Chains A and B, each alone.
Chain A
């Protein structure tokens, strides 16, 4: 965990930050359907009900309750003692878990005018989302998962934090194998308070069950988990051509084949992968979103924010 105050001051802009395009989204708030546990007062419904905020209910007095919240007027009229309950509002702590394994590079060498790599798409999306969350005065942190290391930035709601995240996100590179399960465990161990975990990954992992197990621990701790499953078009449909020698992004594996021979079977296999992933994440209680990188990140972000704002 890197404390944000020890980090160098970040540059204010990023090549992935497009403020003009995000202007239309800045009035939308990233929120959550669940109650959150924040440190400061904010706009999100807190889990606890305290003496400030909006009145929501009465409760009979029990010995030990704070007498400051006793409804004296009701006691005078009815002779019964009731406590007035108020809904606290707090800030949101959102942690972005970015998958930077080698497979996220897919699309960087696309044939023709493709949408770019998944990593690029993810950088654009994460930058924009970070901006919007910070703009909503909520705390946002970052966890970058790579083969050997995991970089975590604790959630903070400040413009300095935003610049730091912008710089971090801009400097991301994808390589190595995915260790998403290990990163989840590390992140869980480092997180003191619950919040929202937003996972951006292609979920091309050797062991999906381990990832799901890691997510399940977060859910057990009361985290809200949002998963964005990134899929590149050329993963769904193999490139057109005759014979290819495919090289693994995350290893040294090489496979030569003629596309026509395997196209159909591959597409069936990939569809099966999508279905298995979606089912597993839903089963954990994650909010699952399948995102095709062929779609513009702003369109996806707008849809995402509409759902979140509701």
Chain B
């Protein structure tokens, strides 16, 4: 058995003589007294003497036991199982210490954080030892080791531990263990030891597996989980869609309460051009989303913070979250068609009319803006208008485009990858060829649920009706899920192409099916954009004149824009990849800038390169710092802005307990577990109470002895006086 304060055992053994000496020395000095009835007393004493002797012996034993327990309580024996990895390293030990540096490690209360405890523990494990080689792995989003191999330079490792600070990122336990396994595998002889010092958050360490670690390695879990885990946090800030100038955008703020009681919070939104504050009551152990409707009146990048005000919890770092959002001009639609714009009725005519109305509704509030002076729907002829003359837009609508050139197909593919939307109305066989061409160019990015095939003889596509429709999903959701079938019952479709299901595509992507089981409409994600295919000739069908056409088309255009609408702030420490807009066309002029937050080490804002396959510049940043707001600008104007924040999982501080770590997580191997908080604190409390009880017993004994001596002394004096 080990003792924390072994020195007290020696003192305790020496002190055991004290109660025995006290037993004999504190026997009261009798007062001589003559008594006539002494033979009565002798009779009584004969009966009582054996009992008194037993009582005296028992008292002496209890006193001795009290001293022994006091010494043991001060010595603090470690009753739990011997740790797999002792703190003091044995000779020729190969010790790898995995130190969790995730944001949750900075949690703490009363001036003591998990991190300070973890550093102290790590330094203990790195204490001097002859022939010991060790390594320290900092487990963050990207784990890194101080040295590339195990090193005998423990002083340098200790210094590295002292210099380390928690990072605003999660802990990737898997990569940390892979690195530890690599370091241990490099060694062949010696006692291999792995010490994992962490708070063992469920979210980070719940999938921990030790199968990578060499089987001859002794594994020790050292938990520094905080006793208090109540925490409030802003865990997400989202926009329902990319804000458009003049249009109301819903900002969703996700607040989490990881406490066992209700919490009243005051949350402020500071986006520079807009400041708001709201108060909310959060239920215990819940995550609630609050919505704020915001209208932006300027185009461009906006950034700011969402903060919980006056919130005193164990992890203040997650009480605020940066926001960076681009406010874009109104949606522009490019209608690509070979049909004559004046040909009435025609499919493209109906489409243009519907799109004009749909776009006008959304722009009603911005008539004063110069950007809105131009028409929202522009029509081009793929045969007459050169590709480079096509105006920039957000959604491409292709109706009777004829055979598209390879260049046009590549252009559309690039636009799709950049996040643009494409609506293809298929009516002719050439449309199937165009789609096939796009499919080949996009490769794996485009996996349609159906393939368009030529019309087979005997079954002309006419008078087709809607057989099945996904009324709960866009774009038919706007008709109401209960009424969608009845509303579309009178619609008859003509033209279009037969379809066959593909193996790669998802059947869920088919939003509506016609009576001949061919797909009427499907939507699929392509790169960063979305593509929808409407399989009907609107000129011959009666849908364009039905009241359901306009809302469905409007909703369809919005859904095509949804995929590029908003990106959640990037978690700090996680790799960041962004396809920059077409305005970022000169790589040499791009430069990173820190707007708010810690500057990246060595001014490294990552790399931005022209990627031919994407037909755009791609920004790749492996280790963005955070939390903060960083921009990539060109000629002083921001091209892209990114907000990095603490991963939301770091706010949930509940940790894995001993049983889980030594049972399920151990993978069948014997692992050790030590804790500096909960168990140790409970043990401390018990030992402290034992010390108090022993001291109380001893003081009571001393008090009784003093009182007895005083009484004896007084009686002796009185006796002498009267004799």
Contacts and interface: CB of A to CB of B under 8 A. Distances in A.
Given A242-B715, A244-B31, A262 B45 contact: yes
A246 B33 contact: yes
Contact of A239 (B33, B45, B47): B33
A190 interface: no
B52 interface: yes
A105 interface: yes
Contacts of B342: none
Chain B interface size, under 10 / 10 to 19 / 20 to 34 / 35 or more: 20 to 34
A202 B38 contact: no
B708 interface: yes
A255 B42 contact: yes
Contact of B33 (A114, A247, A270): A247
B30 A243 contact: yes
Interface string A60-84: 0000000000000000000000000
A204 B708 contact: no
Given A245-B31, A256-B30, A261-B48, A106 B36 contact: yes
A245 B34 CA distance: 8
A243 B712 contact: yes
A109 B31 CA distance: 12
Q: Which label, helix, strand, loop or mixed, suits the secondary structure of the B interface?
A: helix
Nearest to A263: B44
Interface string A211-224: 00000000000000
A235 B663 CA distance: 75
A241 B712 contact: yes
B43 A249 contact: no
A159 interface: no
A109 B41 contact: no
Contacts of A170: none
B37 interface: yes
A232 to B, nearest CB: 7
B29 interface: yes
B35 A240 contact: no
B516 to A, nearest CB: 112
Contact of A243 (B31, B36, B722, B723): B31
B88 to A, nearest CB: 53
Contacts of A246: 33-35, 38, 41
Contacts of A248: 34-36, 38-39
A109 B722 contact: yes
Contacts of B30: 243-245, 256-257
Given A242-B708, A246-B38, A255-B42, 13 more contacts: A104-B36, A106-B34, A109-B34, A111-B718, A204-B36, A248-B39, A249-B38, A250-B36, A255-B45, A261-B48, A262-B48, A265-B47, A269-B40
B712 A109 contact: no
Contacts of A204: 36-37
B719 interface: yes
6 contacts: A253-B38, A255-B42, A258-B28, A262-B48, A265-B47, A265-B48
B711 A270 contact: no
Interface in B603-655: none
A62 B29 CA distance: 82
A112 B35 contact: no
Contacts of B45: 255, 257, 262
Q: Which 8 A-B pairs have the closest CB atoms?
A: A103-B36, A241-B715, A243-B28, A245-B30, A106-B36, A243-B30, A265-B44, A248-B38
B79 interface: no
Contacts of A232: 36
A253 to B, nearest CB: 5
B40 A242 contact: no
Given A241-B712, A242-B712, A262-B48, A257 B34 contact: no
A239 B37 CA distance: 13
Interface in A256-287: 256-258, 261-262, 265-266, 269-270, 273
Contacts of B38: 246-249, 253, 255
A278 to B, nearest CB: 16
B47 to A, nearest CB: 7
Nearest to B719: A111
Contact of A261 (B40, B52, B719, B723): B52
Q: Most chain-A Cβ atoms within 10 A of its Cβ — which of B27, B30, B52, B722? A: B30
A16 to B, nearest CB: 21
Contacts of B27: 243
B36 A235 contact: yes
Secondary structure dominating the interface of A: mixed
Nearest to B35: A246
A262 B35 contact: no
A19 B264 CA distance: 100
Nearest to A101: B36
A249 B31 contact: no
A211 to B, nearest CB: 16
B32 interface: yes
A225 to B, nearest CB: 23
Interface in B32-80: 32-45, 47-48, 52
Contacts of B44: 262, 265-266, 269
Interface string A88-110: 00000000000000111110011
A103 B32 CA distance: 16
Contact of B36 (A244, A249, A262): A249
Considering residues A109, A244, A247, A270, which has the most beta carbons from chain B within 10 angstroms of its beta carbon? Answer: A244
B715 A106 contact: no
Interface string B673-710: 00000000000000000000000000000000000100
A232 B37 CA distance: 11
Contacts of B43: 269
A269 B40 CA distance: 7
A153 to B, nearest CB: 26
B722 A255 contact: no
A191 B719 CA distance: 45
Given A244-B30, A261-B48, A265-B48, A106 B35 contact: yes
A116 to B, nearest CB: 11
B415 to A, nearest CB: 105
A245 B35 CA distance: 10
Contacts of B715: 111, 239-242
Contacts of A266: 37, 40-41, 44
Nearest to A239: B33
Contacts of B28: 242-243, 258
B58 to A, nearest CB: 14
B711 A255 contact: no
Nearest to B714: A241
Interface in B132-146: none
A288 B715 CA distance: 36
Contacts of B34: 105-106, 109, 246-249
Nearest to A262: B44
B36 A102 contact: yes
Contacts of B39: 248, 253
Nearest to B712: A242
Contacts of A243: 27-31, 712
A262 B49 CA distance: 10
B28 to A, nearest CB: 4
Nearest to A206: B39
A104 B36 CA distance: 8
Nearest to B45: A257
A117 to B, nearest CB: 10
Contacts of B711: 241-242
A114 B722 CA distance: 10
Nearest to A273: B40
Contact of B41 (A105, A250, A257): A257
Contacts of B708: 242
A133 to B, nearest CB: 28
Contacts of B33: 109, 239, 244-247
A31 B659 CA distance: 100
Of listed B31, B52, B708, B722, residue having the most chain A CB within 10 A: B31
B31 to A, nearest CB: 5
B41 A245 contact: no
Given A102-B36, A256-B30, A269-B43, A109 B48 contact: no
